[in-house]
């Protein structure tokens, strides 16, 4: 996908490969389910993430949030795209909490790339997978 509404060049394959790089560091000894994510920020920075589990299961963090929190903590608060890789035989969608976190930092036309590999992927908008989101607008 090239130059689109955002004015950004979105190279889905590159972002997916970055997500796979992130997944290499997944720490998932309890579920055995390794996930990787890569976010593309305004300005073209890419941050990768993996899921990080904990013996106290509730303290675990998803790959998407790891990547997003890395980006935001480095000062990049506007996200143009995120690629997510989990299982190789089916698409791994972000969990509800991650959809909420994505919605906080999403640019208007943000793309959610769900990939089995760098050739097999689908691209969704946030509105498709998270309609009726609760956002800062609801607080005004």
CB contact at 8 A, 21 and 39: no
Q: Which residues are CB-contacts of 3 (< 8 A; sequence separation ≥ 6)?
A: 9
Q: Judged by CB under 6 A, which of 16, 22, 64, 71 binds ligand THU? A: 64
Kindly report the backbone phi and psi dihedral angles of residue 129, in degrees, each rounded to the nearest multiple of 5, phi listed first. -100, -10
Q: Judged by CB under 6 A, which of 28, 123, 129, 133 binds ligand THU? A: 28
- The least CB distance from residue 100 to ligand THU, in Å, is 12
CA–CA dist 18, 36 (Å, integer): 8
Give, as ranges, the residues between 68 and 127 that touch ligand THU (CB under 6 A): 92, 94-95, 98
Task: Give residues in contact with ligand THU (CB under 6 A).
Answer: 28, 31, 33, 35, 51, 53, 60, 62-64, 92, 94-95, 98
């Amino acid at each position: 996908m090239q130059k689109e509404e955002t004015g950004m060049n979105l190279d889905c394959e590159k972002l997916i490969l970055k997500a796979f790089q992130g997944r290499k560091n997944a720490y998932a000894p309890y579920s055995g389910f390794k996930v990787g994510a890569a976010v593309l920020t305004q300005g073209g920075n890419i941050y990768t993430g993996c899921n990080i589990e904990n013996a106290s299961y509730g303290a675990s963090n998803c790959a998407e949030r790891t990547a997003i929190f890395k980006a935001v903590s480095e000062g990049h608060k506007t996200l143009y795209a995120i690629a997510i890789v989990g299982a190789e035989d089916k698409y791994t969608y972000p969990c509800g909490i991650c959809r909420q976190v994505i919605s906080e930092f999403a640019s208007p036309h943000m793309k959610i790339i769900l990939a089995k590999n760098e050739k097999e992927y689908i691209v969704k908008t946030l509105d498709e997978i998270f309609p009726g989101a609760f956002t800062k607008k609801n607080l005004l």
